[in-house]
Amino acid sequence: MKKLIYDTYSVMWRELKHWLDQKVRILVTIFQPLIWLALMGNVMSKLTDNPFSRQAFGGANYLSFMTPGIIVMTSLFGGIFGGISVVWDRRWGYLHKMLASPISRTAIPLGKMLATAIQGTFQSLIIIIIATLFGVEFSTGIPGIITIILLAACFNFTMAGLSIAIASRIKTMEVLTAVINFLTMPLMFSSSAMFPIQVMPDWLATIARFNPITYVVNPLRTLVISGWEMGDLIKGFLYITFLALSMLFIARHEFNRSIA
Amino acid sequence: MKVIEVKDLAKTYYSPFGNIEAVKGISFEVEEGEIFGFLGPNGAGKSTTIMMLTTLLKPTRGTAKILGYDIVHQPNQVRQLIGYVSQDLTVDDTLTGWENMYLQGRFYHLPKEVIKERAEELLKLLKIYDRAKDKAETYSGGMRKKLDIAMGLIHRPKILFLDEPTLGLDVQTRQDIWEYVQKIRKENKMTIFLTTHYMEEADSLCDRIAIIDKGEIKALDTPKNLKNSIGGDLIFLTIEDNSTEKLERFIKRIKSLDPVKNVSSKDSKCNIVASNAESLIPVIFSIAFEIDINITSITMKKPSLDDVYLAYTGREFRDEDGSREDSMRMRRLLRRTR
């Protein structure tokens, strides 16, 4: 166990070094939510002008509604590309260098997933700061914001696990990027991240009810708009934890299978 | 003491397009402190063997023991004792030389002070210490390879596996690398398992050499014995062609000489295999003078590993397409950017 933690830190340290090295990538993570909030928020703000639709959006303006959606979307995108480093490491032979050493095999996927989650924490924080500047009020205050960030990081971790599991099977960069893009867009737009389920056509609403992203967005939205509704929150929290743990297990299994 | 014991080790890659028997049941042993060379063309099974011995690949059949530990059942004990420098350049370009060493030390669970001390020592020895705080992406190809090798040495392995360590490097860098590796080897009584394309390298460095071709070991001995095993020295003659009858008489006379083992001739060329060729040359000249034929050129050659290789695999080593392909790959590796 001590060895696992030590090795996980080694892998994570390397991934974070890579991340900090990419200044442009960090800039993009700042500007992307800015663009989303400024553009989408302004274009769509008319949506919540009439009382009926305002009710569908949970009594909030569109920006408040969308902020949790953007946090989840950013986590999804950040996380789902976490597996790419596995493909790079394999291609350049660095993976073999790690595997020839006595490093714990679980530490490799776990360290990469944690590094992605830490990046996600940073991204969520930026989105929240920008949203606050745009006038979004978080009804649960600072403790709520911390909870939001933690839940988003958990989701990020989960998606990184999914990505590593896929990258363990698909070993070329081109195919992996294609598969990831194929997954993310439909996942995103068939969830309640951008629009409330109430305004969706029936077929889409049905898909959205089964979409895991809906279950992640909902507790975050509760924290932003409605406050501490413990029943919803605990359900959401349990769901995300379950998702994260099972994905860690799957990623570990797939990764170990690919190196055997 | 035997540090590597390989018994009937085999690896087959299964694929829907037909199975490839990369290694077909090889057996050999390596003694402590030896430099053991694996020599063979591309696709001969060298890297597959190294990957099995370094626990990166599971053998399809057979066993191997590294310092008594089984590579399949006790991989973690094996990993702690061996160092592996792959044929790919596996330094992390976005990290500095020092960070690369630090991370590598962590992979082997060394305390920070030990890493620091050994990294400094190794980087100084390999003459990249003054660049240790620069990112590896700014290094030249030779420097990166030196860093790669330094990384493989940080935990003081008992056995160092070097897979084509000097591929595509210039002569000076190659010599440097070998000088330092030899120094470390002597200080730590390290065993080296080496695969290489460079005949001269294998010849001058290795205590014993295994010639591997198509997944099988064709010959295994000291470079000297291998060279002796193909018969002796070579003499190449070119004769001014004046009469076939005279030429036949000449060849017959040469064949009857005691040290001569074999003579083959084609047109005006004549190849002689003999022991102690130096003292044979004057005799050849006097016979030529007697029979009255003109020798226009004469070359004497001590057998090289190239000739040994040719004799055992039926292929000329340098004619392999591989060398070109390899240098292309090397260039690709060096050009890479993240």
Tell whether A103 lies on the interface with B, counting CB pairs under 8 A.
yes
CB contact under 8 A, A97 and B82: no
**Residue where the block lists tokens 């060329």:** B269
CB contact under 8 A, B90 and A260: no
Q: List % helix, strand, coil for chain B (3-state, nearest 5).
A: 45, 30, 30
Same domain assignment for residues B208 and B282:
no
Does B190 map to a domain? yes
Q: How far apart are CA B336 and CA B338, in angstroms?
A: 7
Residue of B55, B79, B88 with shortest CB distance to A93:
B88
Interface-testing mutation among A19, A92, A108, with chain B (most B C-beta atoms within 10 A): A92
Tell whether B304 lies on the interface with A, counting CB pairs under 8 A.
no
pLDDT digits (tens, 9 = 90+) for A101-132: 999 999 999 999 999 999 999 999 999 999 99
AA identity, residue A245: L
Same domain assignment for residues B216 and B102:
yes
CB contact under 8 A, B103 and A7: no
Contact between residue B232 and residue B279 where contact means Cβ atoms under 8 Å apart: no
Q: How far apart are CA B34 and CA B52, in angstroms?
A: 20
Same domain assignment for residues B166 and B266:
no
Same domain assignment for residues B167 and B25:
yes
CB contact under 8 A, B56 and A7: no
Q: Which of B198, B227, B256 is the last residue of a domain?
A: B227
Same domain assignment for residues B85 and B159:
yes
CB pairs under 8 A between A and B: 61
- pTM, whole model, 2 decimals? 0.84
Same domain assignment for residues B128 and B183:
yes
pLDDT at B333: 55
pLDDT at B338: 34
Q: Would you list the domain boundaries of chain A?
A: 2-259
Closest listed residue to residue A33, CA positions, set A125, A169, A96, A100: A125
pLDDT at B328: 56
Same domain assignment for residues B219 and B249:
no
Does B311 map to a domain? no
The CATH number of the domain holding residue B81 is 3.40.50.300
**Residue where the block lists tokens 């990046």:** A119
pLDDT at B100: 96
Tell whether B103 lies on the interface with A, counting CB pairs under 8 A.
yes
Same domain assignment for residues B200 and B99:
yes
Interface-testing mutation among A5, A11, A101, with chain B (most B C-beta atoms within 10 A): A101
Q: How far is B165 from chain A (nearest CA, A)?
A: 14
Contacts of A115 in chain B (CB under 8 A): none
DSSP letter string, A27-48: HHHHHHHHHIIIIIHHHHGGGG
Domain count, chain B: 2
Which residues of chain A have a pLDDT value below 50? Answer: none
Same domain assignment for residues B152 and B260:
no
pLDDT at B337: 37
The CATH number of the domain holding residue B240 is 3.30.70.100
Does B321 map to a domain? no
Same domain assignment for residues B294 and B174:
no
Nearest CA in chain A to B91: A94
Q: Which of B208, B227, B246 is the last residue of a domain?
A: B227
Going by the DSSP 8-state scheme, the letter that residue A198 receives in this structure is G
Tokens matching residue B102: 């630090």
pLDDT at B319: 46
Contacts of B94 in chain A (CB under 8 A): 17-18, 21
| H-assigned helices in B189-257 | 199-205, 223-229, 244-255
Q: Which residues neighbour A13 within 8 Å (Cβ) at sequence distance 6 or greater?
A: B103
pLDDT at A98: 94
Restricting to B residues 42-81, those with a Cβ less than 8 Å away from any Cβ of A are 51, 54-56, 58, 76, 79-80
Tell whether A97 lies on the interface with B, counting CB pairs under 8 A.
yes
Q: Which residues neighbour B232 within 8 Å (Cβ) at sequence distance 6 or greater?
A: B259, B261, B273, B274, B275, B276, B277, B303
pLDDT digits (tens, 9 = 90+) for A75-100: 998 899 888 999 999 988 899 999 99
pLDDT at B68: 93
Tokens matching residue A231: 């029943």
Tokens matching residue A193: 């991240």
CB contact under 8 A, B55 and A100: yes
Going by the DSSP 8-state scheme, the letter that residue B94 receives in this structure is T
Q: How far apart are CA B238 and CA B282, in angstroms?
A: 15
Tell whether B138 lies on the interface with A, counting CB pairs under 8 A.
no
Which residues of chain B have a pLDDT value below 50? Answer: 318-322, 336-338
Domain that holds residue B246: 231-302
Q: Which residues neighbour B143 within 8 Å (Cβ) at sequence distance 6 or greater?
A: B128, B131
Same domain assignment for residues B238 and B223:
no
Residue of A3, A10, A97 with shortest CB distance to B90:
A97
Same domain assignment for residues B246 and B205:
no
**Helices and strands per DSSP (H, E), number in chain B:** 12, 14
